[in-house]
Amino acid sequence: MTEAITVVKIGGNVIDDAAALKRFLKEFTALPGRKILIHGGGKLATRLAERLELKVRMVEGRRITDKGMLDVVTMVYAGLANKQIVAGLQAAGCNAIGLSGADANIITARRRPPEPIDFGFVGDIERVDARRLASLLDAGLTPVFSAIMHDGGGTLLNCNADSVASAVALGAARLAPTDLVYCFEKRGVLRNPDDEESVIRTITPASYPPLKADGTVSKGMIPKIENALRAVEQGVRSVTIRSSEALGDGSGTRITRTE
């Protein structure tokens, strides 16, 4: 049987904490088998934008990206955050390679239509080149993707990192059984954001709409769960949302097709 692939997405709150990031990268390196890392960096981008006196606007966890903000997120995501993570993985003994979607033309996106909301230079993933992914993994490299993609026509696009993780996992699933893990600062999806013990153990296509409607799932968690549901429906073996400090255990919220 082909060796399984683990795709992990790490959020900005962990990237923003040097000690937490170091612990996470050590645990990620210890994961068995082939693996791919996707990262955000939103808090770093927001701080830099504010220093440059650029207005930060968010809609349902997604950043409005005009030309000035595109420059900022490209510098932060594809530059500072990506290379800090790659350097940390090298220090932990993981031979990583930092990439945007434009590198090797691995991931292309299309600019999102301006209706009903004009997100600016924001993209939706169009294609993941599984063959290129395979060539990197077969070479013993661990790809580390930022959320900066391209449209094939010379324009960079800011994509939601959760969406990138889902698309990459679906691409990897064409190569081998693939598990997707979303890591952030909480133990999972919480019924009460102030109670770490209120983890929702399972979310399905049937149970998700009421959670969104009553506000249990809101803001940045919306695209995370919607992409997770899409991934399991289309071929990813499993999706889990858990704490970055519990990467290697079985805790967190599992996203499944059925109860």
Q: What is the pLDDT of residue 61?
A: 67
- Per DSSP, the three-state class of 89 is helix
Per residue in 216-256, pLDDT (tens digit) is: 988 878 877 887 898 999 999 889 998 888 887 778 998 98
Q: Show me where the domains of the chain are located.
A: 5-255
Low-confidence ranges of the chain (pLDDT < 50): 1
Residues contacting 217, CB < 8 A, separation 6+? 189, 208, 211, 225
Cα distance between residue 256 and residue 231, in whole Å: 10
Q: What is the pLDDT of residue 30?
A: 94
Q: What is 5-255's CATH number, 3.40.1160.10, 3.40.50.720, 3.40.800.10, 3.30.70.100?
A: 3.40.1160.10
Q: What is the pLDDT of residue 97?
A: 98
Cα distance between residue 108 and residue 13, in whole Å: 27
> Residue 154, class by beta-carbon neighbours within 10 Å (0-12 exposed, 13-18 middle, 19+ buried)?
exposed
- Give the chain's radius of gyration (CA, Å): 17
Measuring CA to CA, which residue among 179, 251, 254, 236 is closest to residue 4? 179
Rounded to the nearest 10 degrees, what angle do helices 82-92 and 18-30 cross at?
Answer: 50
